[in-house]
């Protein structure tokens, strides 16, 4: 059974760079893409972007200038970097995996809470 394990720093100061990682166990990213989604407190879901197994990316236009998503195929991992964070970036961040060519995510990580505070 494919599972996603995510980790990264949970407390940041304004202007720092958020960095999260997601490892695929019981499978790989081959033929799939890895996505990052966030959920602000009490609010809905926001797609951040995705990366396919070849390194091709798509980003949310509203975050594109600050986001970098990359993959390490040898480790079946993908990563998120979000620069110049502010309090508005405080959220639960999820990684998820989807099948290439299909616009849905069928495996999700458990989420990482990231708080931005001075």
Partner 1 sequence: QSVLTQPPSASGAPGQRITISCSGSYSNIGSNSVNWYQQVPGTAPKLLIYSTYHRPSGVPARFSGSKSGASASLAIGGLQSEDEADYYCAAWDDSQNGHYVFGTGTTVTVL
- Provide the strand spans (E) within 26-100: 32-39, 45-52, 57-59, 67-72, 77-82, 91-99
**Measured between alpha carbons, how far apart are the two ends of the chain, in Å?**
40
Q: Which of 20, 37, 25 is nearest to 104 (CA)?
A: 37
* Residues 47-76 within binding reach of partner 1 (CB under 8 A): 47, 50, 58-61
- Regarding 8 and contact with partner 1 (CB under 8 A), the answer is no
- Regarding 44 and contact with partner 1 (CB under 8 A), the answer is yes
CB of residue 118 to partner 1, shortest distance in Å: 26
CB of residue 49 to partner 1, shortest distance in Å: 8
Q: Among residues 45 and 87, whose Cβ is nearest to partner 1?
A: 45
- Regarding 103 and contact with partner 1 (CB under 8 A), the answer is yes
Token pair listed for 61: 């236009």
By the 8 A CB rule, do 89 and 82 touch? yes
CB of residue 112 to partner 1, shortest distance in Å: 11
């Amino acid at each position: 059974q494919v599972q996603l394990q995510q980790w990264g720093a949970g407390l940041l100061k304004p202007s720092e760079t958020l960095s999260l990682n997601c490892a695929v166990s019981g499978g790989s990213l081959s033929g799939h893409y890895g996505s990052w989604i966030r959920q602000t407190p009490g609010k809905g879901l926001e797609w951040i972007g995705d990366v396919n197994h070849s390194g091709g990316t798509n980003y949310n236009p509203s975050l594109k200038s600050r986001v970098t998503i990359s993959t390490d195929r040898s480790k079946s991992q993908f990563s998120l970097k979000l620069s110049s964070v502010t309090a508005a970036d405080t959220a639960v961040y999820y990684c998820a995996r989807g099948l290439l060519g299909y616009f849905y995510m069928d495996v999700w990580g458990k989420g990482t809470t990231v708080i931005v505070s001075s």
